[in-house]
Amino acid sequence: MEDVTQSLFDRKCQQESEAKCNRPSGQPYNRTTKLLVGGLLFMLLIMTLIFPFFLFSLSSTVGIATLPHKLELAIYMGRSQQIFEAYVTRSDLIQLSDEDYLNISATFDNIEAADTIFDAFKVEDIVVVKWSPHSMTTWDISPGSKEELLEDLENEDPFTFRLEIQYTHVGHGGQQSNRVFAQTSDLAPLPNAERQNLIDIVKAKTDTSTLLLLPLIFPKFLKIDKEGRPEVLSMMEHIEVTRIIHDKNQSLDGADDDDVPPDPNKLRNLLLTLRRSKAAWWQLSEECTILDDNYVYYLTNLAHNDCDFLVLYLF
């Protein structure tokens, strides 16, 4: 008797439940509805599993600019002889103000490539690097090495200068790696005027005002990606390369296949000279002249640009 009563009670509950439901018992669901509900539940499950890992992977980098800890500028001459060295630390980097950022972005607002750059980089992502124009080290060369240097300059082989920017990049999790940007510039054989200038500088026994032009070797705007790889940015309009180097005999071919192509939109000329007092040291400066349209139109009034220093804008 109790079993019959229990069965009747269960059946009554089932009938009341079916009466409250919009779908009669035994009627199948629409296939589209089943696929939609199943798909949404599957996506919810995937997001529940993957989203925490995605969030953790970004937590250490979101909103943090990957600025290098130290940047060293070096110039090598001929047979890998280092003649110039200057460096700045992270504390020496100049952070842009909102006014500086507006100045820089407005200066290049007519350059299509620059618009894309400033869409990706905000004021906190750009810093200014200022190196001293004077080498931190003196130039000590023995008489024998000096004779070998002059022999190299007077022969018919190209004579190479190499610029290196060495920096320490801090990646994910604080991992540090040493990176190098390098660019070379060749002096063509005599009677190239710049090669003769270098010979005169090396032979001189007193301080001289002779300047040696190193064409299209210095990156004015450099981007370092999250992996620490450097890329020279093209921020200026095209002008004739022959006007930049001032000498049709000057070579623009670098000795390194990884060099940036000699492009005045990306690279700047440097001027090199040897200073002498009680000791000898090399002085390096960026060429700032009204003959250079890029300097006149873009760099003259650019925030923090100063021809008394070697100025690099780092993105």
CA 201 from centre of chain: 33
List, in sequence order, every residue forming a beta bridge with 286; answer none if it has no partner: 270
pLDDT at 299: 93
User: How many CB atoms within 10 Å of residue 252?
Assistant: 17
Mean pLDDT to the nearest integer, 77-92:
89
pLDDT at 250: 47
Query: Is the pLDDT score of 90 beyond 90?
Result: no
pLDDT at 138: 94
Band of the pLDDT at 61, cuts 50, 70, 90?
very low
- Give residue-wise pLDDT tens across range 198-252: 999 998 877 778 899 999 999 999 999 888 889 999 888 755 544 444 443 444 4
List, in sequence order, every residue forming a beta bridge with 81; answer none if it has no partner: 77
Between 58-62, 149-153, 219-223, 265-269, the lowest mean confidence (pLDDT) is in 58-62
Q: For residues 157-174, b (16+ Cβ closer than 10 Å) or e, as one string?
A: ebbbbbbbbbbbbbeeee
Q: In what order do the strands lie in the sheet with 81-89?
A: 81-89, 70-77, 159-170, 176-187
pLDDT at 48: 81
Mean pLDDT to the nearest integer, 173-186:
87
Please list the alpha-helical segments (H only) found in 86-130: 98-107, 112-120
Mean pLDDT to the nearest integer, 257-265:
76
Distance CA 315, CA 304 (A): 15
Residues shown for the chain: 315
pLDDT at 113: 79
The more confident residue out of 184 and 58 is 184
